[in-house]
């Protein structure tokens, strides 16, 4: 199961498993808000390479506008995925609890 929604501050919260089957849903949500700047991963359990690709495309669009994508509340498992793929050097990543 995958859920995505924005709060009043414009932070987009992702919950569940973000895999290839969820990319269209996530892209629609990102487009609807004009490109998220902060994604809250507190409820995210898993992200696939397809999800990583979608985040990278969103980040590149933001960079072109002079902005950055910030990922907050990233759990240890997902942080390890970012670290092993080198994405921890691409995005601003704030680990859960820190």
Q: What are the extents of the domains in the chain?
A: 2-95
What is the structure's pLDDT at 29?
Answer: 85
Q: Which residue has the tokens 């919260």?
A: 13
CATH topology of domain 2-95: Transcription Regulator spoIIAA (3.30.750)
Note the pLDDT of residue 35. Answer: 64
Q: What gap in Å lies between CA 90 and CA 92, rounded to an integer?
A: 7
Alpha carbon distances (Å) from 38 to 24, 25, 65: 19, 17, 15
The whole-model pTM stands at 0.89
What distance in Å separates the CA atoms of residue 83 and residue 7, rounded to the nearest whole number? 28
Quote the tokens at residue 11: 């932070």
pLDDT band at 61 (very low <50, low <70, confident <90, very high): confident
């Amino acid at each position: 199961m995958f859920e995505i929604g924005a709060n009043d501050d414009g932070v987009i919260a992702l919950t569940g498993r973000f895999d290839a089957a969820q990319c269209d849903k996530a892209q629609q949500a990102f487009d609807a808000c004009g490109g998220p700047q902060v994604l809250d991963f507190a409820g995210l359990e898993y992200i696939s390479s397809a999800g990583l690709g979608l985040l990278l495309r969103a980040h590149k669009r933001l960079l072109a506008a002079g902005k950055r994508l910030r990922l907050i509340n990233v759990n240890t498992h997902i942080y390890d995925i970012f670290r092993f793929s080198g994405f921890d050097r691409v995005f601003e990543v704030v680990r859960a609890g820190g």
